[in-house]
Chain A
Amino acid sequence: MGLRRIALLLLLGAGQACAQPPDAAPQQARPVFFPAPVQWDTDMLRSRPAISQSAADFANLAGGIAFGMSPADLNAKLPAPYPGMSWNALTLANEYPGEVRYFGVPIDAAGPLRMGLTACTGTGSYLVFLFREEGFFRLSYRLIPDKTCTDTDPAARQIFARFVPMGQKVALSVRYHVGKTQVVDITDATAGYLTPIRWRQGTN
């Protein structure tokens, strides 16, 4: 084989290597969330939720816990209840105005509230139950990455996906991150001025 022929083959080979189609990058499927559908009238002037949902739907999803429950009642629903749970035994949640108290459980001990997670969560991840005087009003997942689970975003997405279809007249689901901690908050739709308040790391 002559030198000229070898050079030609090398040139053709280089040309083939560079002519990769733009879709050579690995494909990634992005999850999509499905909020409850909205029903519009024919003129598209008025809308309402297309599906009727109630507090019972939230309780069914959340392993029997319901907004408005007392700390003791909610604690009793957990797989491993704390002894002597009461309002006065709870810690104050300082980021909220007024008196809001909370307690937390490791996500591994959350039973059905793990929401059938298959993605990793990090060993320090936990759930927080927040209470006002009227009762339980927010469930907050705090997913903290560590050496064994460097990214908790997929876990946060899995949890969030379970609550997004819940209508906003029943429970408001919000997803954000504080530093590297992924947060998913599920809030009672009647929580009023407490609804927009977000967790700030270091406050609880």
Chain B
Amino acid sequence: MRAWIRTVAVAALAATILYANAHAGPLAFDLPLYQPPVIADSKAPTKCTVTYMIADLANNDLYASRMRIASAETDTPVDNRMPCPKSMPPRVGLQALDTCLSRSAEAKFCVFADMSRGFERQPDIHNTAENASRCASDTASDIGVACWMSGNLSVCNVACANSPNDALVQARVRCEDKQQHSCPITATVPVSGQ
């Protein structure tokens, strides 16, 4: 009896091994293999980013064009933010403008988003301010823009602040003060982004 049980057990084991081998195909490529999570250093100082707000007048589109500036070895963070250059060469502004130029129907429709009073009568880049259309990450966390509509044309101004709400409020104040119009169309984005 004991020998008979042993024979049955050995046969069952052999059958199990054979069955397992028959079903052992190649490894699937889409196995959910473990990947360690990417851990961002949340205490690392914010690197310098200068964000330009660019307007496409043809489509009334806004672009937040982000320029990251490498820090010098001697730079040290202040309030956990790396310093940004005090002045920006024109080529950086032109590069920011290019993000619109390459995507718009015509180059003349791309301007800096901080516009002078009366822009609606002469809507060209000479009536916009490059330096007022950008915010640097060492002094602001958010960039806001506020606009009013002159017919089909958005007339806008830009402001920098340290919260989305402040950026929006300050952009509206600047727009309404400068343009002498209510500026109900608004947007705000982080200066540094991803």
Cα–Cα distance between A23 and B61 once the two chains are bound (Å) = 22
User: How far is the CB of A131 from the nearest CB of chain B, in Å?
Assistant: 23
Give the chain B neighbours of A175 by CB distance below 8 A. Answer: 56, 59, 61, 103-105
Give the chain A neighbours of B58 by CB distance below 8 A. Answer: 176
Beyond A27-B186, A176-B105, whether A35 also contacts B59 by CB under 8 A is no
User: How far is the CB of B136 from the nearest CB of chain A, in Å?
Assistant: 13
Give the chain A neighbours of B89 by CB distance below 8 A. Answer: 44
Once the chains bind, are B68 and A40 in contact (CB under 8 Å)?
A: yes
Task: Considering the complex, give the chain B residue whose CB is closest to the CB of A40.
Answer: B69
Residues A28-67 near B (CB distance < 8 A) = 28-35, 37-42, 44, 47, 50
User: How far is the CB of B114 from the nearest CB of chain A, in Å?
Assistant: 15
**Chain A positions 159 through 183: 1 when the CB is less than 8 Å from some CB of chain B, otherwise 0:** 0100010001000111111000000
**Chain B positions 36 through 77: 1 when the CB is less than 8 Å from some CB of chain A, otherwise 0:** 000000000000010001001011111111111111100000
| A29 partner, pick from B85, B105, B186, beta carbons under 8 A | B186
Give the chain A neighbours of B64 by CB distance below 8 A. Answer: 32-34
Task: List 9 A–B pairs whose Cβ atoms lie within 8 Å, in order of A's numbering.
Answer: A23-B172, A30-B145, A37-B193, A38-B67, A42-B69, A44-B69, A174-B102, A175-B61, A175-B103
User: How far is the CB of B179 from the nearest CB of chain A, in Å?
Assistant: 10
Once the chains bind, are B63 and A198 in contact (CB under 8 Å)?
A: no
**Segment at the A interface, from B12-20, B91-99, B125-133:** B91-99
